[in-house]
């Protein structure tokens, strides 16, 4: 018995016919039939029920195929581990990220480092909206996504790994009446003209939750679709906004802004959280992809912005 026997019986179990299984393992049908009979002869038990239309496994065959799958998976893991040791891990990793999360991670530098160390891994990066990430990860269209955490969002089949926490601040123009302050109580937000993101955006949901928890009603002066536009409006003196501190400090409008700590008497305010979304994987998932993903995630903390 050798590895080819295991691959042949697993292919037959998956495909259901000798013709399809032979095509999958790139041999002629007669050779596959001989291979399966050799295996049955060595084991001393019938593994396959042969009919004119379709082939099915016997109970012994079902048990053997389950063990064969596990053996082949462990073998593949061993091969990939050796390749990883030699620096030749192979796979393709499709990454998604929101443009607004770029201030948290030096992604171009991370990818350049990974490409030089693991030339066998192909990387693609896709810019996403906040609504796209979970669905694309769940469907398998991307392999992982950097995504703002929203307590109300749960997507079946998606694993969520905590990544970064950031304090929320209030930003205003340097000419604004609040510009001389160091902090602002949450209850004073109701006195301000707020520039908001559109309701479906995660930051808007977090901001609305803070206002609701403190019983505040606020006048929404402007609603925009992205953080940079929101900060442009704020820097022009059209209102104030609640944003994560890192986004304010890395904005192209940062020189025209002042940031104030957002505080609440006797309460802990929620923080802005960024998570990494990955698809839940089964033991039989592609080993190269799993290893590429694990290597990438292990490297990410080295490339966080200070």
Same structural domain for residues 193 and 287?
no
For 33, the token pair is 């039939």
The pLDDT assigned to 87 comes to 56
Same structural domain for residues 134 and 68?
no
Among 54, 85, 116, the domain boundary falls at 85
Same structural domain for residues 186 and 211?
yes
Same structural domain for residues 101 and 139?
yes
Same structural domain for residues 137 and 277?
yes
Same structural domain for residues 184 and 247?
yes
Report how many domains make up the chain: 3
The pLDDT assigned to 156 comes to 76
Which residues form the domain of 210? 168-270
Same structural domain for residues 281 and 152?
yes
pTM, rounded to two decimals: 0.64
The pLDDT assigned to 288 comes to 64
Same structural domain for residues 140 and 178?
no
Nearest to 198, CA basis, from 207, 187, 211: 207
User: How confident is the prediction along the chain (306 residues), in pLDDT tens digits per residue?
Assistant: 889 999 999 999 888 888 888 998 899 999 999 999 999 999 999 999 987 677 889 999 999 999 998 898 888 777 766 666 555 567 788 999 988 888 899 999 999 998 888 887 888 999 888 778 888 888 888 889 999 987 666 667 788 888 899 999 999 999 999 999 999 999 898 889 999 999 888 899 889 888 888 888 777 789 998 888 999 999 999 999 999 999 888 887 888 899 999 998 877 888 899 999 988 764 445 566 777 788 888 888 888 887
Same structural domain for residues 130 and 262?
no
CATH at residue 35: 1.10.10.10
The pLDDT assigned to 170 comes to 95
Same structural domain for residues 261 and 186?
yes
CATH at residue 230: 3.40.190.290
CATH at residue 137: 3.40.190.10
Same structural domain for residues 15 and 158?
no
The pLDDT assigned to 279 comes to 81
Among 27, 60, 85, the domain boundary falls at 85
The pLDDT assigned to 7 comes to 92
Same structural domain for residues 217 and 232?
yes
């Amino acid at each position: 018995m050798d590895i080819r026997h295991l691959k042949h019986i697993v292919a037959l179990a998956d495909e259901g016919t000798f013709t399809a299984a032979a095509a999958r393992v790139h041999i002629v049908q007669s050779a596959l039939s001989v291979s399966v009979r050799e295996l049955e002869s060595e084991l001393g038990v019938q593994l396959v029920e042969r009919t004119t239309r379709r082939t099915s496994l016997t109970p012994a065959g079902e048990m053997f195929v389950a063990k064969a799958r596990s053996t082949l998976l462990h073998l593949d893991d061993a091969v990939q581990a050796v390749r990883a040791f030699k620096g030749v891990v192979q796979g393709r990793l499709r990454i998604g990220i929101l443009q607004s999360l770029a201030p948290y991670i030096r992604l171009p530098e991370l990818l350049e480092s990974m490409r030089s160390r693991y030339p066998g891994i192909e990387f693609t990066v896709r810019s996403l909206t906040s609504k796209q990430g979970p669905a694309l990860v769940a469907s398998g269209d991307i392999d992982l996504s950097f995504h703002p955490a929203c307590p109300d969002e749960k997507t079946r089949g998606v694993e969520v790994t905590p990544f970064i926490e950031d304090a929320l601040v209030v930003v205003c123009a340097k000419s604004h009446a609040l510009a001389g302050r160091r902090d602002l109580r949450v209850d004073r937000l109701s006195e301000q003209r707020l520039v908001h993101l559109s309701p479906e955006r995660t930051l808007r949901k977090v901001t609305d939750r803070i206002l609701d928890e403190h019983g505040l009603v606020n006048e929404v002066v402007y609603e925009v679709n992205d953080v940079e536009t929101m900060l442009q409006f704020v820097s022009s003196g059209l209102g104030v906004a609640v944003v994560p501190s890192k986004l304010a400090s890395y904005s192209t409008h940062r020189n025209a802004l002042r940031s104030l700590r957002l505080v609440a008497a006797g309460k802990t305010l929620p923080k802005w959280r960024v998570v990494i979304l990955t698809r839940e994987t089964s033991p039989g998932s592609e080993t190269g992809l799993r290893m590429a993903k694990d290597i990438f995630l292990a490297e990410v903390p080295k490339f966080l912005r200070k």
